Amino acid sequence: MSNERNLHPVWYRHFGIQPVQPTRKPVPPRNAADALIRAVQALAAKQPTTR
C-alpha cells in the first residue's frame, strides 16, 4: 500500500502540512475499508480537534 501521497487529513492537521490536491473530485471507494476510512475522515473533518 503506497499511501504516501494521499495521507489522511488528520495527518495533514497533525504535521501542519498542506494537502496537495488542487481539485477535490470525489472518487468512488475501492472497497469497504476505503469507504470506512472516508466516512471517518468526513466525520473527523466536521469536528474540532480532540487532542
Query: What are the 10-residue block averages of pLDDT along the chain, 51 residues in total?
Result: 58 59 67 87 79 61
pLDDT at 9: 64
> Which residue spans within the chain are E strands per DSSP?
none
Measured between its terminal Cα atoms, the distance across the chain in Å is 27
pLDDT at 24: 61
pLDDT at 25: 65
Residue 42 lies in a domain: yes
Q: Which helix (H) or strand (E) holds 9?
A: helix 9-15
Number of domains in the chain: 1
CB neighbourhood size of 46 (10 A):
7
Q: Provide φ and ψ at 19, rounded to 5°.
A: -65, 140
Domain of residue 34: give its range: 9-46
Residue 2 lies in a domain: no
Residue 4 lies in a domain: no
Residue 1 lies in a domain: no
Q: Which three cell numbers stand for residue 40?
A: 471517518
Residue 37 lies in a domain: yes
